[in-house]
Amino acid sequence: MGARVRRPARQRPAALQTQRRHHLLGMNDGSYRAYDEGIGKAYEDPMRDIATRLKAVGATVVVGSPGAVDTKYFRNDPNQATVYNDNLAHLRDLAKQVAADNGMPFANVHDVMVEAMTKGKAALGDDYDVCGRDGVHPRPNGHIVMAYAFLEAMGFDGDLGTITVDLKGDSAATAGHKVLSAKDGTVELESSRYRSASTATGRARAPGQSHQNERRCSCL
C-alpha cells in the first residue's frame, strides 16, 4: 500500500503579494511563421483575460510586447527573420492596445530590441547578437535591453540627480546626494543613489562606504 504525505501549507511568498506585475508573452505565440488574424486572436484574447483578472484584484500590470529575433541567426535566414519580426510587430501592437484599454503601462520590448540590434550590428558587425545566437533567446546583453524597456514603462528615466560643482563658490546637490566639503579645488560628495564613483579624469576611485550603504567620492 502506498502512503500519502500531506505537506503543510506554505505561506505565499512576499514577492507574489505585490500589486505590480510584469507580463511579457508572444515569442512562441507567433508560431514562427508569417502573421495572420488567427495568430492575433489567439494572442490577444488570453492577454486581455490576464489583464482583466489582475486588474480586478487591484494589481497594475506592466504589459510587455514580445521581443524580436536576430536578423542573422534566426534560422540562419535574414528573410525568415524579417517575416517573423513583422509577425512580432503585429503582436506588439495588440499588446499596446490591451495596455491602453486597461489604463496600464506598456513596455515596448520589441522596438528597443530591434533598435539595439540594428545599432549593435552597425557598430560591431553582423555577427554581434542582441537576440541570442540561436536567434530567439537573448544573452545578458539582450536581457539588459528588455529590462530597460520595462523600467522606462514604469517611469524610471535614469535621472539620478544633479550635482552642481563651483570650485570658486558654493556647490549643491539634489536629493540623495550631499556636498560634504568644497575647498582647495576639491569637492567631496556623499551619495546614496550613485552606484560608483570616479574622478573628473575618468579614473575609477574606490569609494568609501558608510553603514548606510552610501558612497563618497572626491571631484578634483
pLDDT-derived band at 216, boundaries 50, 70, 90: very low
Strands (E), 25-103: 60-64
pTM value > 0.85: no
pLDDT tens digit sequence for 98-116: 999 999 999 999 999 999 9
Ordered by where they begin, the domains of the chain are: 17-153 (3.40.50.1110), 163-219 (no CATH)
pLDDT at 18: 55
pLDDT tens-digit readout, 70-105 = 999 999 999 999 999 999 999 999 999 999 999 999
Taken in order 142, 195, 15, 100, the sign of the CA dihedral is negative
Q: Is the pLDDT of residue 202 over 60?
A: no
Set of cell numbers at residue 84? 517573423
User: Is the Cβ–Cβ distance between 21 and 61 less than 8 Å?
Assistant: yes
Residue 171 has φ and ψ, to the nearest 5°, of -105, 155
Q: What is the pLDDT of residue 85?
A: 98
